[in-house]
Structure 1
Amino acid sequence: MEYPISAASVETLPNGLTLILDADPSAPVVSAQIWVATGSIHEDTHLGAGLSHFLEHMVFKGTRDFDADTLADTVQAAGGHWNAYTTFDRTVYYIDGPADSLAVFLKTLTGLVFFPLLPEAEFEKEKDVIRREIDMGLDDPDNAATRLLFATAFVQDPRRHPVIGRRQLFDALAYQDLIGYHRQRYVPEHCVVVISGDFDPAHARQSIAELTAESVTSFARPPLVACDPPQLGPRRARETFAIPTSRISLAWKIPALDHPDAPAFEVLAAMLGRGRSSLLHRRLREASELALEISAMAWTGPGREGLFAVSADANPAKRRAHRGDFRRTRQLVRPADRCRFS
């Protein structure tokens, strides 16, 4: 597959904020985003509490320019579609919409990231919302299986904790913890503003500089983000769940996204377990009828080892045979066992 050459420009403003501008007048639409280089692995002394995800919720309670209701009404009136998400290593806010609404979108996004009100009166209310999210996740068998996989694969790496946090640690968060985390992590040098679509780069650059002029560089120490020591042997974990099927997963550590071998694992995952024509689907679901569903994934990110995993759902009565067939298919992914990377 060939990708078109990008005309995007990359630059850094005096306050440390990075801009990626990709003008394309082919359609009268724009996408404006702010990527904040902070996620659940950066929560330091509050690791495992889900502070990054909580902050993502709280910034929508109003900014220095708009209260919560006016904020939503303003984006909707401008024709914008907005959302946000939090991962292990980043939090992203974005608005897509008509090109002539870019000024509104930029004012909204910079307000959310750099100048949120974070009203204390909304703190406990929003905690209750997230508590319900956590409880719903605990009742979801797919979510539970993923949590168990990551908690088993990683022992010191902070990705052993779910992004949303663990209930006991989340409940212990105080309002000042939220304020302090925003002050330390939502700073220009941790942020990238991305704009693509039909816009004038010079005008956008000036507008962003003016909107973020009061946001300055932080001198806070970077958080401690631990890495796992080399794994010397297999790890196993098991958890019961009140559903009529069983899930079995096998996972291997693989190189980070920026390693030259990373694309090979994506290809291997597609060959083994993506789609009805994949090898494991044909062998374990169609031929032997051991698996109800089966999939493979290569999960990687920049700078840290990832996971190559094969997962299957099966009737509990066939679990032993299913596990044996999984062991036999291990020869198909044996290169992952032998991979050595720096």
Structure 2
Amino acid sequence: MTPPKTPRVHTLANGVRVVCDPIPGLQTVALSVVAGRGARAEDLAHSGWSHLLEHMVFKGAGGRSARAIVEVIEAAGGNINAATGYERTSFQVRALADGLDLGSAVIADLVQRPAMAEADLAREKQVVGQEIAEAADAPDDLVFEMAQAAAFAGQPLGRPILGTTDSIASATPRTLGDWRASLYGPASLVISAAGAVDEDGLLRLAERDFGGAGGAPSPAGEPGRFVGGQSTHAKPLEQANLVLLLPAVGASDDAYFALRLLAEVLGGGMASRLFQEARENRGLAYAIDAYPETYSDVGVLGVYAGCAAGDAAELAKVCAGEIVGLLNPVGEAELSRAKAQLKGAMFMGRESALARAEQAAGQVLMFGRTLDPDEIAAEVDAVTPADLVALTERILAQKASATAVLGPRAALKAAPAFQTELFG
């Protein structure tokens, strides 16, 4: 039987949703169990708890020790991982085709039956503390945190996913267990598998392992608000690190694909405007690119660059000038190239079973359904030069930016230079 082109979404009696995406010819399967909750669900007192919880469930669950959890998966030829973001937490198993049963059972234990031993929690707080310190020591991590904090000041989106050593210190096995119940409630869970898998078999496993999942989701948080501001930190580095953010649209906005294409034209590759002007024509930067970062209701258009400290202010002005230049219609050839690059990146990603499983889960959480690749391609192709101009006008009309500069003191002038060049 030929599988449907667009995977169907099934809902268990308790609200858990299930998506199956068979890929003919594969000998392996990817399983993602994704909770549509993450660091954005945290208040200030619980900052970092979602990430800490993701660590803790691997310390023991369902009667298996931390070592047994990974050994049982690896003994079957698979691997297991997890990740925490602002709006979702994902548990993933890649395995041989006959490893789906085991992978589902192990992840179900992690999500529903973690041991949460007090001694393990004390040790894991130390481990996460080292992770926080490592991020602070890495300039290309720290500068993004600085920009995020400026863009979304006073909100969960403006706080680091890792939290702080102080905010995670207050977690106890009981309070972290309560947090788990709200974070991984069945209404926010999606079971998604791709590769060597059949729908009936996956549904049986989902019912067996997740049909009894309980817990009520925590209330929805406040809508995201782009605040903006300047965040600078002088540090004796060889290079200045710049992140420049402008308020954009969320993933559910009609202009989402216009934002993706706007970022592609601006700084998506070696033919992009920023690469050609800042690097090729002026030699101001070795690394420079533009990117969109989108959440459910809000997003940013971002630029990252690394440069010599003395060039930072000039580079910021060049970036601002190229952004303002997008108020003029993009030529058909340039837009066609951007569309080809965007579709290529999206469809190449679909050649990975794990990427497909994760993508399907994300679509279900965002839209309540999976999206046909042809539908996505049509949305990209439908974007016009006028759409890009309209979105640029919408972005600049807010007269707000968030600028982070990390590096030698001479580079710090880049922050006001960017704001002034954009808005006067």
Regarding TM over 0.5, the answer is yes
1:112 counterpart residue number: 110
CA RMSD of the aligned region, Å? 2.2
Gap change, CA 1:262 and 1:213, over 3 Å in 2: closer
2:374 counterpart residue number: none
Give secondary structure in 2 for the equivalent of 1:339: helix
Give secondary structure in 2 for the equivalent of 1:244: coil
Aligned partner (choices 270, 292, 296) of residue 298 of structure 1: 292
In structure 2, what is the Cα distance between the partners aligned to 1:92 and 1:219?
18
Answer whether contact 1:158 1:226 (CA < 8 A) is retained. Answer: no
In structure 2, what is the Cα distance between the partners aligned to 1:101 and 1:311?
41
1:35 counterpart residue number: 34
Aligned residue type for 1:184? S
In structure 2, what is the Cα distance between the partners aligned to 1:308 and 1:288?
23
Aligned residue type for 1:268? L
Runs of 4 or more off by more than 6 Å in structure 1? Answer: none
1:181 counterpart residue number: 179
Answer whether contact 1:153 1:235 (CA < 8 A) is retained. Answer: yes
Give secondary structure in 2 for the equivalent of 1:308: strand
2:301 counterpart residue number: 308
In structure 2, what is the Cα distance between the partners aligned to 1:230 and 1:323?
20
User: Matches of residues 40-51 of structure 1 in structure 2 within 5 Å?
Assistant: 40-44=39-43, 46-47=45-46, 49-51=47-49
Answer whether contact 1:252 1:337 (CA < 8 A) is retained. Answer: no
Aligned residue type for 1:199? V
- Shift of residue 145, structure 1, vs aligned partner: 0.7
1:262 counterpart residue number: 256
1:332 counterpart residue number: 325
2:148 counterpart residue number: 150
2:273 counterpart residue number: 279
- Shift of residue 5, structure 1, vs aligned partner: 6.5
CA displacement 1:152-197 (0-9 Å, x = unmatched) = 1112431100111123222333333211101222222121111122
- Shift of residue 207, structure 1, vs aligned partner: 2.5
Identity %: 24
Name the TM-score, length of structure 2 as normaliser. Answer: 0.73
CA displacement 1:111-139 (0-9 Å, x = unmatched) = 11111112222011011110000000001
Aligned partner (choices 202, 205, 224) of residue 203 of structure 2: 205
- Shift of residue 326, structure 1, vs aligned partner: 3.1
Structure 1 residue ranges without an equivalent (≥5)? none
Q: Is the counterpart of residue 227 in structure 1 residue 282 in structure 2?
A: no
In structure 1, what is the Cα distance between the partners aligned to 2:326 and 2:242?
16
In structure 1, what is the Cα distance between the partners aligned to 2:18 and 2:4?
18
Aligned residue type for 1:247? N
In structure 1, what is the Cα distance between the partners aligned to 2:117 and 2:12?
30
1:22 counterpart residue number: 21
In structure 1, what is the Cα distance between the partners aligned to 2:4 and 2:265?
29
Give secondary structure in 2 for the equivalent of 1:237: strand
1:79 counterpart residue number: 77
Aligned residue type for 1:41? R
1:67 counterpart residue number: 65
Gap change, CA 1:108 and 1:219, over 3 Å in 2: closer
In structure 2, what is the Cα distance between the partners aligned to 1:290 and 1:207?
55
Give secondary structure in 1 for the equivalent of 2:194: strand
1:159 counterpart residue number: 157
Answer whether contact 1:158 1:225 (CA < 8 A) is retained. Answer: no
2:54 counterpart residue number: 56
Give secondary structure in 1 for the equivalent of 2:116: coil
Give secondary structure in 1 for the equivalent of 2:323: helix
In structure 2, what is the Cα distance between the partners aligned to 1:229 and 1:7?
34
Aligned residues: 332
Gap change, CA 1:241 and 1:333, over 3 Å in 2: farther
2:189 counterpart residue number: 191
In structure 2, what is the Cα distance between the partners aligned to 1:100 and 1:219?
33
Structure 2 residue ranges without an equivalent (≥5)? 328-388, 398-424
Aligned residue type for 1:319? A
Q: Is the counterpart of residue 322 in structure 1 residue 290 in structure 2?
A: no
Give secondary structure in 1 for the equivalent of 2:230: coil
Give secondary structure in 1 for the equivalent of 2:33: strand
Gap change, CA 1:73 and 1:262, over 3 Å in 2: same
Answer whether contact 1:50 1:164 (CA < 8 A) is retained. Answer: yes
More helix by share: 2
Answer whether contact 2:157 2:224 (CA < 8 A) is retained. Answer: no
Gap change, CA 1:297 and 1:213, over 3 Å in 2: closer
Aligned residue type for 2:316? R
Answer whether contact 1:152 1:237 (CA < 8 A) is retained. Answer: yes
Answer whether contact 2:82 2:90 (CA < 8 A) is retained. Answer: yes
2:334 counterpart residue number: none
Out of 91-100 and 197-206, give the one that drifted further.
197-206
